[in-house]
Amino acid sequence: MNYSSSIHAILPLLILVITGMIVLVGDACLGFWRRSKLFSASVALAGVSIAGLSALTALNEGGVKNAFSGAISADPFSQACSLILILVAGLAILVAMTYLQNRDMHHAEYYALVLFSTSGAMLMAAANDLIVLFIAVEILSVALYVLTGFARTEERSEEAALKYFLLGAFAAGFLLYGIALIYGGSAGSIDGGSYGTVAGGTTNLTLLAQHLSFTTAPPVMLLIGVGLLFVGLAFKAGLVPFHMWTPDVYQGAPTSVTAFMAAAAKIGAFAAMLRVFTALGPISPYWLGAIQIVAVLTMFGGNILAVTQDNVKRMLAYSSIAHSGYLTVAIAALGAIPHDSAGALAARNTAMSGAIFYLLAYALMTLGSFGVLVWLTNRGKDYQTISDLKGLWYKDPPAAYMMLIFICSLGGIPGTMGFMGKWFIFYASLQAGQLWLAVSMACASVISIAYYLRIAATMCFVDPESRTEPIRAQSTGGVITAIAIAASFTLLFGVAPGLVHSLMTAAIALGRP
Amino acid sequence: MPTSGIPNLLSLMTFLPLLGAIIVMCLPRPRDLSTKATAGQDKTKPVIEDTGRLLVTWITLGFTLLTFVVSLVVFGLFDSHYAHSLTRNMQFVENVDWISMGSLHIRYHMGVDGISLLLIVLTTLLMTLITLFSFSMKDRIKEFMVFLLLLETGLIGVFCALDLVLFYFFWEAMLIPFYFLIGIFGSANRQAAALKFFIYTFAGSILMLVAIIGIYQVAGSFDIVALCDPSSPAGAALRAAPPEKLTWMFAAFALAFMIKVPMFPFHSWLADTYAEAPTAGNVISSGVMVKMGTYGFLRFLLPLFPEQSHTFAPVFIWLAVFSIIYGSLIAAVQTDIKRLLAYSSLAHLGFVILGIFTFTRVGTMGAALQNINHGISTPMLFFLVGMLAERGGSRWIADYGGLKKIVPMLATMLLIATLSSLAVPFFNGFTGEFPILLGSWISATTHLFGGYWPTALAGTGMILSAVYLLWWYQRLMLGVAKKPELRRFPDLNRAEWAVLIPLTIVIFWVGLGSSFWTQRMKSAVNTLVPSGQESLIPADEGPDIPYTQPVTAVLEADAAANALNDSGMGRKGAPVPVRKKPLHPVYRPATGGAAPGGARSGPAPGGSPPPREAPGGSPQAPPPGTPGTDAPTPRPGGRLEPGFQTVPPMLRRKLFPNAPDRLPRGDVFNSRLLSQKEVQS
């Protein structure tokens, strides 16, 4: 594949990066740009829309394009993930428009950073080489570190940024070390077949998968490498026991950043995990147990810890950990499907498309619920603790209605996307013969209902301290648009998930052995 | 298949309240009237001008009434003679593609048979009455009405859905409005009660969701009609699944329904919820919501898992009996009016479960009818308790007393409701509980696992219910009014009469003319309990005795005109030969051989009058238009030992070591195949 078609394959990603640069340069050099408050946001939104159109076109074209000598794979799976990420970026920009104005920290860099980190997450989904994956993780993370500390004057934000950075750097070390060991471990493992011998190892996932399919007993070095790689990615996804940073960072970061980070970082991490573990499919008996244990720990850990929280952002952070656990169940299902069984391909497609649907659902409902918190900042204070929400139903009915929709979706009540997502993952794990994982997921989601309903109860069952509260006349247009989009998608796709069918079946490209 | 001429009648009925909810949601919020809410507000605007309140209440009433009318239309167009076991007697069927992606096919499949139809009419009636009752509500009336309408959509949907996923949608979506009804409008401890209720039901139903997906994985369909039919590919695949897998799925379904009913070990949410809920919540919950559990047993558990249902029947029978006695005893010592009714509900629903697991037509029909009866009498009791609480502001029994002289009308209505709940003859409760006991008496299943003990113990439940209910009535209404403020109670007002009169009419209608209701459920019950599985009477020995024979004999002894009419009709038919062969020794109860002879042919035990028309003719022969789906068919193979097919599969090998394993079910298959041929011809 020549160079220009390689560029064409990563077009949506490039559009985002270029828009980010335009925003940075324009804000620095042009006076009119800086004076108009929402110019950067509008340019960023325009860029996101063009990127979205380009991703949509690519998804419709279909077909697998290997760009840059197979280092990047622009297949429908990555296009679908890109599309979800672009939606997330667009909603995050809309949310930020309101939040930054209300908190008096409206700077154009914010939008540029959102675009950069989105491109990083998109690259994670498309990376077919472990080195590219590492670069993508860094692009995503570095931008997120800065965003987390964006509220410069707040100690909590700075603390969160530092914590995130230090732990993230540590995790990056794990990731890189794992990649190195995989490279080393795959070197000696080529034992004949039509493939021939390769002197060094490989970091390319396609080659790795081919190697592994000839291997009966993978070397220990390779397995350690896979373990370290998983630790690195699990850190980004916030899986127990690598979740320690999540509540602190989610709570400390500005709420609009939390909304974006919770969605984008998780999509990136899970897209990468899905791709890596599909490639590692031939040696699934070696990693399946670890994934299953982590999935159960994450589901129960996240949900049980969330029950005791009094800060809504922290509670939603633990809830996002629990949702990572549900997604990990889908990965476990992927590994548990026997390779040569009759329905293997169909079962793997179910798991893949279930995971993609759940990612979309998770992104919408998480963004939406944090978005409602952003919406409430127009009352002049940062709504964070659960007692702040007391009687919201009577003070601000539309916000409470919206929050209820997202809470129902997070809890998995029928009629919302969250329910359909859980449904697909149950289905996938039963198809893979993992009944006990499905049952533990069901039990974990019963626990989760306790704290989701606590939010609902506080909003609706308790009288507010005062029924009339001064509302600072500020623009909430951005966040309301974002919430309206998220809520309507949540309800629409919850009743008619067939509408995103093509998005979900895109995963089939990856499931192909 | 009978069609109404009006397309999508069921969808209209289901989503009409949803439309109403959306409209009411958009209305302006009326002012709150209670002193607490108006404390800080200006009272310059007189209450009478509050058009917002009028709009909200009347629009809600309009929508509930309209839904009620639509359900009556469905009831009127319902063909009670339509019987077709291949389609599970479903009428007004709507079946379109809903979610179709990859290997997943979920359909929007709605339909009603007799059992669900009556529950739907009950739902729409109760909803209308609740709206009427809630006109006097002071605070947050708009939210209340919105939740009420949303709840109605969910409830009707549950009873209409014929696709497992669609069913689950309604089943679960209904929880949210009910949670808010308790949580916002309940009494002091409402938050904890609402949460307890939600977590209990959610825990049960999410495991059911896993089981639903399990069924799909095994059988490749969510369609209940197909899954229930062993001759369809999906039904055959389900029955061919590994038994341990089926047992787990059965357990998940059973757990969800047992929590919902509730039955003994899972009942702890019931008393808390009933005690804290507002009157509307009590009425909906006791009237319709718990019926979702019993309906689940009838619609899903028994037809989907026939083998497992038989195997585990003793568990359910004994739990039901225990629920009856335990509920009655606990109810007797309650000091809280609502808690007492909650435990009485536990006892009464124990009867329903007992009836279902007798696997007799009598018992099943009794259970289906008792489902409706309990949905009439308990809500009426709750309405009356709510009216009392509105006057007295307390839900403790000790705060009342001697009210009969002060509010004679209310006391009379309460007596009617109490007697109905007591299952006194002439009242509706009797027509439900008596057939249940009868079914349990003649049932092979109860016999195998407990002789006559389950029936005997359940019978004491009827006595116990008299103990606690009459004592309760006595403490509330009789004696001397202890407190002076009781003397100022006003008697029933017009709105309250409007709520109570329809319920009273239904109580006596079911009590005196039960055949009007049972004939609509007959084909559903006959499909549910195929003739081959019926009680002690093996199919190859006697005629297919229709359900109504023994029961109507007793029930309609008083409604002379009706009974005469029926028996007159029946004598035109061919005389039914009397079974002379003695029972297989296995089925002779250990207590003595004298009883079963009577039990088989009529309701002899319990001192009830012998059936007037039992041996002579067939009094309740199927009407001429009915296709003979359940007509006894000659068995193709050799004769089996009598009674074989009634034995639960688990015990067959022990009792009949030489018999083939699956043959007796062929009886059922044959009759179904026959009906299929009939359809084709």
Euclidean distance between CA atoms B460 and B224, whole angstroms: 37
Tell me how far CA of residue A2 lies from CA of A8, A9, A65, A69, A70, in angstroms: 10, 11, 11, 9, 11
Does residue A431 belong to the interface with chain B, where contact is any CB pair within 8 Å?
A: yes
Q: Which chain B residues are closer than 8 Å to A498 by Cβ?
A: 99-101
Element (DSSP H or E) covering residue B222: none
Query: Do residues A215 and A280 touch, judged by C-beta distance below 8 A?
Result: no
Average confidence (pLDDT) over B192-214: 90
Least confident of A230-234, B416-420, B606-610, B654-658: B606-610
Cβ atoms within 10 Å of B184's Cβ, excluding its own: 21
Average confidence (pLDDT) over A475-482: 85
Q: Which of B342, B517, B298, B482 is nearest to B398 (CA)?
A: B482
pTM of the model: 0.82
Please tell me which residue, B542 or A16, carries the higher pLDDT value: A16
Q: How far is CA A270 from the centre of its chain?
A: 7
Element (DSSP H or E) covering residue A220: helix A220-237
State percent of chain A over pLDDT 70: 93
Average confidence (pLDDT) over B655-678: 46
Q: Which chain A residues are closer than 8 Å to B190 by Cβ?
A: 461
Least confident of B187-191, B398-402, B527-531: B527-531
Residue B487: the pLDDT is 80
Query: Do residues B440 and B446 touch, judged by C-beta distance below 8 A?
Result: yes
pLDDT > 80? residue A421? yes
User: Considering only CB atoms, which residues of chain B are within 8 Å of chain A?
Assistant: 40, 98-104, 165, 168-170, 172-173, 175-176, 179-180, 183-184, 190-191, 194-195, 198-199, 202-203, 206-207, 209-210, 213-214, 216-217, 248
Taking only the tens place, the pLDDT of each residue in B20-54 is: 999 998 888 787 776 555 555 555 555 555 788 88
Structure-token match 């490498």, residue found? A225
Q: Which chain B residues are closer than 8 Å to A456 by Cβ?
A: 179
* Nearest CB partner across the interface for A439, out of B40, B168, B210: B210
Euclidean distance between CA atoms B342 and B331, whole angstroms: 8
Pair of tokens at residue B397: 């029994």
Taking only the tens place, the pLDDT of each residue in B587-640 is: 444 444 333 333 344 343 444 444 444 343 444 444 444 444 444 444 444 344
Searching chain B, which residue's CA lies closest to the CA of residue A454? B195
Does residue A499 belong to the interface with chain B, where contact is any CB pair within 8 Å?
A: no
Euclidean distance between CA atoms B209 and B201, whole angstroms: 12
Query: Do residues B179 and B194 touch, judged by C-beta distance below 8 A?
Result: yes
Per-position b or e across A164-201, b if 16+ CB within 10 A of its CB: bbebbeebbebbbbbbbbbbbbbbebbeeeeeeeeeeb
Taking only the tens place, the pLDDT of each residue in B59-92 is: 999 999 999 999 999 998 888 888 777 777 888 8
Euclidean distance between CA atoms B93 and B110, whole angstroms: 6
Query: Do residues A237 and A269 touch, judged by C-beta distance below 8 A?
Result: yes
- Confidence label for B429 from pLDDT (cuts 50, 70 and 90): confident
Taking only the tens place, the pLDDT of each residue in A239-250 is: 988 888 999 999
Residue B635: the pLDDT is 42
The C-alpha torsion from A89 through A95 and A99 to A100, rounded to 10°, is 40
Q: For the purposes of burial, counting CB atoms within 10 Å of the CB of B638, is it exposed (0-12), middle (13-18) or buried (19 or more)?
A: exposed
Tell me how far CA of residue B516 lies from CA of B80, B87, B425, B520, B521, in angstroms: 10, 23, 17, 7, 10
Searching chain A, which residue's CA lies closest to the CA of residue B36? A463
Euclidean distance between CA atoms A367 and A92, whole angstroms: 7
- Confidence label for A452 from pLDDT (cuts 50, 70 and 90): very high
Q: Which of A414, A270, A287 is nearest to A352 (CA)?
A: A270
CB pairs under 8 A between A and B: 89
Contact B210 A438 (CB under 8 A): yes
Contact A413 B206 (CB under 8 A): no
* Nearest CB partner across the interface for B203, out of A430, A446, A461: A446
Contact B173 A353 (CB under 8 A): no
Average confidence (pLDDT) over A53-63: 83
Query: Do residues B94 and B160 touch, judged by C-beta distance below 8 A?
Result: no
Pair of tokens at residue A453: 């309903």
* Nearest CB partner across the interface for B183, out of A439, A460, A505: A460
Number of domains in chain A: 1
Contact A446 B169 (CB under 8 A): no
Euclidean distance between CA atoms B203 and B222, whole angstroms: 21
Please tell me which residue, A327 or B487, carries the higher pLDDT value: A327
Residue A513: the pLDDT is 39
Query: Do residues B295 and B116 touch, judged by C-beta distance below 8 A?
Result: yes
Average confidence (pLDDT) over A307-328: 93
pLDDT > 50? residue A224? yes
Searching chain A, which residue's CA lies closest to the CA of residue B218? A431
Average confidence (pLDDT) over A9-21: 91
Does residue A423 belong to the interface with chain B, where contact is any CB pair within 8 Å?
A: yes
Instruction: Give the ranges where B78-103 is alpha helix by DSSP (H).
Output: none
Query: Do residues A414 and A493 touch, judged by C-beta distance below 8 A?
Result: no
Residue A104: the pLDDT is 80
The C-alpha torsion from B642 through B643 and B647 to B653, rounded to 10°, is -10
Residue A134: the pLDDT is 94
Domain that holds residue A196: 3-511
Please tell me which residue, A219 or A166, carries the higher pLDDT value: A166
Average confidence (pLDDT) over A80-90: 93
Q: Which chain A residues are closer than 8 Å to B179 by Cβ?
A: 453, 456
Q: For chain B, what is the mean pLDDT?
A: 77
Residue B658: the pLDDT is 59
State percent of chain B over pLDDT 70: 74
Please tell me which residue, A320 or A30, carries the higher pLDDT value: A320
Beta bridge partner(s), residue B109: B95
- Confidence label for B3 from pLDDT (cuts 50, 70 and 90): low
Q: Which amino acid is at A394?
A: Y
Taking only the tens place, the pLDDT of each residue in B487-539 is: 888 888 888 899 999 999 999 999 888 888 888 888 888 888 876 555 443 44
Euclidean distance between CA atoms A108 and B243, whole angstroms: 64
Element (DSSP H or E) covering residue A251: helix A245-252
Taking only the tens place, the pLDDT of each residue in B356-397 is: 998 888 889 999 999 999 999 999 999 999 998 888 888 888
Does residue A496 belong to the interface with chain B, where contact is any CB pair within 8 Å?
A: yes
Q: Which of B369, B373, B367, B511 is nearest to B436 (CA)?
A: B367
Per-position b or e across A287-299, b if 16+ CB within 10 A of its CB: bbebbbebbbbbb
pLDDT > 90? residue A260? yes
Taking only the tens place, the pLDDT of each residue in A373-385 is: 988 887 777 778 8
Pair of tokens at residue B214: 């399990």
Euclidean distance between CA atoms B557 and B570, whole angstroms: 16
Residue A21: the pLDDT is 93
Taking only the tens place, the pLDDT of each residue in A152-183 is: 888 889 999 999 999 999 999 999 999 999 98
Does residue A37 belong to the interface with chain B, where contact is any CB pair within 8 Å?
A: no
pLDDT > 70? residue B232? yes
Which DSSP state fits B621?
A: P
- Confidence label for A63 from pLDDT (cuts 50, 70 and 90): confident
DSSP class per residue in B529-564: S-GGG-SSS-TTTS----THHHHHHHHTTSSHHHHH
Q: For chain A, what is the mean pLDDT?
A: 86
Tell me how far CA of residue B647 lies from CA of B311, B358, B651, in angstroms: 9, 12, 7
SS3 of B332-344: the string is HCCCEHHHHHHHH
Q: Which chain B residues are closer than 8 Å to A414 by Cβ?
A: 168-170, 172-173
Q: Which amino acid is at B638?
A: G
Q: Which amino acid is at A32?
A: F
Contact A426 B207 (CB under 8 A): no
Q: Which chain B residues are closer than 8 Å to A502 by Cβ?
A: none
